Structure 1
Amino acid sequence: MKELTKAEEQVMQILWDIEKGFVKEILVKMEDPRPAYNTVSTIVRILEKKGFVGYTAYGKSHQYYPLITQETYSREYLDTFVGNYFGGSFSKLVSFFAKEKNLSVNDMDELMKHVKNDMGNDKPSEK
């Protein structure tokens, strides 16, 4: 999967939020200073070429919608990030994060509880 630029990701975040929309609707959701209409239109067309966005044509207007879920993109982006910067090791990522953010033992304990809960949704807890 191709990585999104910051501008492309901003448009995708809006489309994931509104589920479908015309360029004008995407533009309204952007923070000030808003880019020009043509800029957003160009970004959406690039996203379409990259396979992130589809559209329904209404005459000359197009209503755009995401072809990939936010969860799928996040997962694949994280896998690429961990592979590129941490040699594919999630434990190295967590270790780096813990050191950089000065996490306490209690913070790490809470983090582990969340991980176990997320993983435990598929399997019974082993206690």
Structure 2
Amino acid sequence: MQLSKAEEQLMQILWKQERALMKDLIDAYDDPKPATTTVATLLKRMQDKNFIDYVQLGRSREYFPLVKKKDYFSKHVNGLIKNFFNDSASQFASFFTKETNLTKEELEDLKSIIDSEIDKK
């Protein structure tokens, strides 16, 4: 199950805040802020998709994520590699390193991350 762009934006806010009331979520948006009804609709759809849930606190609801950010994006990246790079991590890495204009330092950081993972296996 995937989130729409608007749902993903709201999910990013919730991941950052960890637990939040409707007011907290709306306050986290840049101006112009979305309408309460818009955010309520997004929250309901995200709950239906089992990405979030809430606890009732008096007349308010405190929302929290059910899916970890790392898990969501891991699934996204793996799907991207499968669908656009013939399930080839090396094709993805080649594209990523050539098309993102990484500095030499960033490439060296990536290389050390990869070397560290190689050492673990």
Seen in structure 2, the aligned counterparts of structure 1 residues 92 and 24 have a Cα distance that, compared at 3 Å, is: same
Distance of 2:15 and 2:61 partners within structure 1: 17
Can you list the C-alpha shifts for 1:43-86, whole angstroms capped at 9, x where unaligned?
A: 01100000000110134422110001111111111111111111
The CA deviation at 1:88 is: 1.3
User: Is residue 2:86 matched to residue 1:123?
Assistant: no
Structure 1 residue ranges without an equivalent (≥5): none
Identity of aligned residues (%): 36
User: Is residue 2:62 matched to residue 1:63?
Assistant: yes
The CA deviation at 1:24 is: 1.2
Can you list the C-alpha shifts for 1:20-61, whole angstroms capped at 9, x where unaligned?
A: 111111000011111111101110110000000011013442
Seen in structure 2, the aligned counterparts of structure 1 residues 102 and 19 have a Cα distance that, compared at 3 Å, is: closer
Distance of 2:97 and 2:15 partners within structure 1: 30
Seen in structure 2, the aligned counterparts of structure 1 residues 68 and 103 have a Cα distance that, compared at 3 Å, is: closer
CA RMSD of aligned residues (A): 2.2
Distance of 1:19 and 1:74 partners within structure 2: 17
TM-score, reference length from structure 2: 0.87
Structure 2 partner of 1:45: 44
TM-score, reference length from structure 1: 0.83
Seen in structure 2, the aligned counterparts of structure 1 residues 99 and 25 have a Cα distance that, compared at 3 Å, is: same
Distance of 2:35 and 2:103 partners within structure 1: 46
The CA deviation at 1:123 is: 3.0
Query: For residues 29-108 of structure 1, what are the structure 2 equivalents within 5 Å?
Result: 29-102=28-101, 108=107
Structure 2 partner of 1:28: 27
Distance of 1:103 and 1:26 partners within structure 2: 33
Seen in structure 2, the aligned counterparts of structure 1 residues 104 and 35 have a Cα distance that, compared at 3 Å, is: closer
Structure 2 residue ranges without an equivalent (≥5): none
Runs of 4+ in 1 over 3 A off after TM superposition: 101-110
